[in-house]
Chain A
Amino acid sequence: MTQVELIDVAVKKSVDARGTACPGPLLEAKKAIGTISSGDIMEVLSADEGTKRDIPKWANKKGHEYLGTVEESGFFKIYLRKG
């Protein structure tokens, strides 16, 4: 999805993991995705550079769809659709 489309996407769950370093955001994502239904969209807020590659790779492996990443000031948002 494009950056503009992502900004408007309906998010079912938002996880703010900006206070943690790797592997914190991945663990937060793992816990949170268990609370939503298949097809729902989740966003993960992180300021840890490693997370940008880590969460998309994890999502692909686990059968979730990585929709894209939106850069904000000092952090970013990663969007996933639960598989």
Chain B
Amino acid sequence: MAKLCMGLFSGSLDKLTAAGVILSGAAADDMDVEVFVLLQGARAFIKGNENKIDNLSEASHLKEEFISALDTLNVPTWYEFFEMSKEMTNVKVYICSLAGKIWGGEKLEDFNDLTDEICGIGEYLTAAEEADIHMFI
């Protein structure tokens, strides 16, 4: 079974959504997936923050157009994409411990239900080394 390793650095809504779409594609393909949530990304994974993503990053001037299109096209939220993917295949979500601390998350219970473990950078690099596909978002 193919293995996908994703470094999720971004915490912006557009990239979280893209990450969710890619995960769901991997789920349709029965891939094993490991997501390593790094600096900005970890903010979105703090418990209660999933609907408080105010940063669109690279296209902030198109925020309204983007949000309204997601709604019109009936696109699931980034969180729903992650949830669906976890239901369909083996997806593990790891939070970088430094990133967690930056946003006030020290322990596993400080993060949302998508989160499986808190990890160090060595584990991420080992997973990337062993994966068939590695991407950094």
A residues adjacent to B (C-beta < 8 A): 19-24, 26-27, 29-31, 58, 61-62
Contacts and interface: CB of A to CB of B under 8 A. Distances in A.
Nearest to A61: B29
B120 interface: no
A64 B18 CA distance: 27
A36 B23 CA distance: 24
Nearest to A26: B28
Interface of A is mostly: helix
A58 B74 contact: no
A70 B136 CA distance: 38
B88 interface: yes
A23 B74 contact: no
Interface of B: 21, 24-25, 27-30, 73-75, 84, 88
Given A30-B28, A58-B29, A61-B29, A23 B88 contact: no
11 contacts: A23-B21, A23-B24, A23-B25, A23-B28, A26-B24, A27-B84, A27-B88, A29-B28, A30-B28, A30-B88, A58-B28
Contact of A19 (B24, B29, B74): B74
Given A23-B25, A27-B28, A61-B29, 6 more contacts: A21-B75, A27-B88, A30-B28, A31-B88, A58-B28, A62-B29
A29 B25 CA distance: 12
Contacts of B24: 23, 26-27
| Interface hub of A19, A21, A23 (most chain B Cβ within 10 A) | A23
